[in-house]
Structure 1
Amino acid sequence: MTEPRVRPDPAFALLGLYETALPEVYGYLLSRCGDRTLAEELTSETFLGAVAACRKEYAPPVSTGWLIGVARHKLADHWRRTEREERGLRLVHDSEPDVEDPWDDQLDALRARQVLESLGPHHRAALTLRYVDGLGVPEVAGHLGRSVHATEALLVRARAAFRRAYEEKEGRDA
């Protein structure tokens, strides 16, 4: 009689990567959300989610890049939850998208970060995924659980909100 073979837990692959990937995953999240506590929580969720994903039958190879992708999904999930909580039961009225205007002035990075953090979570999520992470509109739509058309409209409104807030902040700081 042959003894049953025990398959090693694929999550052990994460142990070897944990030491090097942890600062990168945490840094990625912190740079996008600006809140240490939230970045720590999302980093924890990322690694817990990665362990669960590793144990699936057709799991991808474990790498730092893959963990950053998991972190991106966790951050997008957080933004969606926050948006739903803030929206509550009130109706959301989407206005017609404005014509996109080319605003190409150089932005002060610190002021831009402060303005981005002051925006609502749906605008912050869309702008971060599109312009900080460099994702295309279809990818942003996938992360946010929206159609491409709705995401384009959201980005137009988010850029307009960012510009207004940036110019107001610039006027106060001058």
Structure 2
Amino acid sequence: MLRIDFYAQHLVKNNAQAILLVSNQPATFQFAAGPRKSNSPVAHEQLVQLIQEVAPPEAIEQLRNGATCQFIHSLEGQPVTVAVRPANATTWQVQLRKAPPGTQVSAGAGGAAAAAAPAPTPEPPKEKEDPHKPVPVPRIELAPGEPGLNLYLRQMAAVKASDLHMSSTMPPMVRLDGEMKVL
């Protein structure tokens, strides 16, 4: 799941008018009854990553130049307007709103609507890989005195895994593309 989908789901599910994400501040959910803030702040790096995952190339270029941008993101067929305003290099404001009915996902930046892409043809189900087959990991060395756990964390980062699972009864496993694999 894309990181921005977490917020977009809350926008749709909780029938919020908008969600305002500001670097290093708690998310603000705007309701008719008034705003509500989340408990934890959203780091600037996390905000940048969630926009980079979904923004069209033109929007990314606008952000690199310090300009504001707007585009449409689709959450399970529900279009969401994403407006990004970079205040400076370390502070962005991102606003999510439900797009008007009939709006389609942007082909470019600025919220210009485009024709939806044709639905992909279904592929036959792939055979499941053996989850106990180890993931190829580049050789990583520990510095003298460095904790052994750091080796697993570095290996996890090297293969771009999202989770590290450790147990006394199983070898270390990582989550790659939603699948658990032995590290």
- Please tell me the TM-score bracket, short chain as reference: under 0.3
**TM-score, with normalisation over the residues of structure 2?**
0.20
Say which structure is richer in strand.
2
The structure whose residues are more often helix, as a share, is: 1
